[in-house]
Amino acid sequence: MRRTTGLRSALAVLLTLGAAALGLTSPAAAADAGASSSSARALSPGLVTALQRDLGLSASQARARLHQEAAAAELAPRAERAAGQDFGGTWYDPARGALVVGLTNTGGPAADSVRDAGASVTRVAHSARALDAAKAALDNVAKTDGAPMAVRSWRVDPRTNSVVADVRKGSEHSAAVREFLAPAREAGLLSVRRAGAGQTPRTFAAGAVGGDPYYINGNTRCSIGFSVVGGFVSAGHCGAAGSSVVGWDGSAMGTFAGSSFPGNDYSYIPIGNGWWTTPVVLGWGTVSDVLVRGSAVAPVGSSICRSGSTSHWHCGTVLAQNETVNYSQGPVYEMTGTSVCAEPGDSGGSFISGDQAQGVTSGGWGDCTSGGQTWFQPVNEILNAYGLTLVTA
């Protein structure tokens, strides 16, 4: 059965009595409906404090940033449509407190449309379509021939208007690395970033050590991502289809109905046996438990927080989207990179921006003592892959 704190019990009562107010958002509707009123809602208690701690903001700066990011997430799809073929990417700029749209032509009607929509505009040399194509070329090489382990990850970075490859320091001029990165280099779009020896990505599964986890086949611990109708989603590397799952108290939850890793890193676990779903991300006492109200995608540059059963609640910023991460087991595609730390056992846990679900923890490097980086698999991709419906408040 599901453990509850006093706050979670109160939430359960409110959700039960107010069932008519609890929405179940489809993957297609979640991205559009979730953020539209988020800037007008009260912020979850403790969220401002968490951003103060992890991003070094004042309380007023944290509140302003959360409202600005909600507005940016709502605006981003409309700005991209307005930009048309001139679109070069979007990101949230905390210095401006606004969404920025890169355009290959800042003097045409598309630029006027983007400005009229409320976004800032900056000129870039390359379109998002060209950058995505160069990144996809590297993905295709990795799928057919593999990728050198010295290449940690690769992604499109809208802020530098380039395809950025993170390469182990000292290996950037090796023949294997140069050959792998050749498609992006020949297109004139490559930027290489040297990564330290301790920055090799790994998954964050762990042996059973307690906390508020779920356990797979009795010997691996991971963290719940988000409730969906009938169960929850998590990371694929946590367990294979058919693997049995028990909760923190040892009682049976269900079995993995679907799991994909590498290539993807997501899974779906239907639950029963007295376990129930709720639109809540645990705050672990650092913040109050956060209600999930949708899954609008937070732009690059936005603040984001993660909840997991080992290191609990930590925040940072979105560094990249559609990044390919080269684990020892093989590449995983379409990941989102963040500056949030994580530790073994946090795998599968929730990434959330404001009250919008973002994804499930995949892996990273470092820890929450010395710092590090983490990637997640976007939740909307998981919902679409399995035809699931996110449980929202």
Is 243 considered catalytic here? no
Strands 303-308 and 350-353: antiparallel
CA dihedral (309, 313, 316, 319) positive or negative: positive
Residues sharing a CB contact under 8 Å with residue 164, sequence separation 6 or more, in sequence order: 154, 155, 156, 157, 191, 192, 193, 320
Is 249 considered catalytic here? no
Specify burial of residue 249 (Cβ count, 10 A radius: 0-12, 13-18, 19+): exposed
The catalytic residue among 127, 153, 157, 237 is 237
Nearest Cα to 87, choosing from 35, 155, 158?
158
Q: How far apart are CA 368 and CA 340, in angstroms?
A: 8
Nearest Cα to 307, choosing from 373, 360, 355?
360
The catalytic residue among 234, 311, 347, 353 is 347
Nearest Cα to 94, choosing from 301, 314, 297?
301
The backbone torsions φ and ψ at residue 75, rounded to the nearest 5 degrees and listed phi first, read -75, -30
Number of alpha carbons in the 13 Å side-chain half-sphere of residue 35: 25
Q: Could you tell me how far CA 264 lies from the centroid of its own chain?
A: 13
Specify burial of residue 368 (Cβ count, 10 A radius: 0-12, 13-18, 19+): middle
Q: DSSP letters of 73-86?
A: HHHHHHHHHHHGGG
Is 350 considered catalytic here? no
Radius of gyration of the chain (CA): 20
Q: Residue 19: in which H helix or E strand, if any? A: none
What would the two tokens of residue 384 be? Answer: 């679409």
Nearest Cα to 316, choosing from 342, 298, 341?
341
Nearest Cα to 377, choosing from 259, 289, 278, 284?
259
Residue whose token pair is 């953020």:
35
The catalytic residue among 265, 289, 346, 355 is 265
Q: How far apart are CA 42 and CA 148, in angstroms?
A: 47
Name the residues annotated as catalytic: 237, 265, 347
